[in-house]
Amino acid sequence: MSRSLHPSGTPWETHAKEYADKRVDDQENGRMAAVARELPNTGYALEVDGRLKTGFETKEGAWTGAEELKKRFPMLRVKIYDAETKTTKEFQLPSS
């Protein structure tokens, strides 16, 4: 059975494992994880193209994060999840 090789000659799965190990180390060191796997119990979270992403403590923080993301990548579908009401609202840039 042949395995896909990275251009450097290293199997792809080795790089994937190293990346996964780094993400675990980042979480253990208290750094914010870029991807959330579960809905938060408190605060807010951004859902980008159907995938749960960064969490925020305040509605203003989530709004600002969504606004910056939409300005940089207007084609993305961004929603803000509110843990208190357990609702999701689609984010749209204000019309100018």
Q: Please state the rounded mean pLDDT for residues 31-47.
A: 74
pLDDT digits (tens, 9 = 90+) for 7-27: 544 444 444 444 444 444 444
Q: Does the residue 55 lie in any domain?
A: yes
Q: Structure pTM?
A: 0.60
Q: Does the residue 49 lie in any domain?
A: yes
Domain that holds residue 59: 44-89
Q: Does the residue 6 lie in any domain?
A: no
Q: Specify the number of domains making up the chain.
A: 1
**How far is residue 72's CA from residue 76's CA, in Å, rounded to a whole number?**
9
Percent of the chain with pLDDT over 70: 60
Query: In this model, does residue 87 exceed pLDDT 60?
Result: yes
**How far is residue 49's CA from residue 91's CA, in Å, rounded to a whole number?**
12
Q: Does the residue 96 lie in any domain?
A: no
What pLDDT is recorded for position 10?
43
What pLDDT is recorded for position 45?
93
Q: Which residue has the higher pLDDT, 38 or 70?
A: 70
What pLDDT is recorded for position 36?
52
Q: Does the residue 18 lie in any domain?
A: no
Q: Does the residue 11 lie in any domain?
A: no
Q: Does the residue 53 lie in any domain?
A: yes
Q: Does the residue 79 lie in any domain?
A: yes
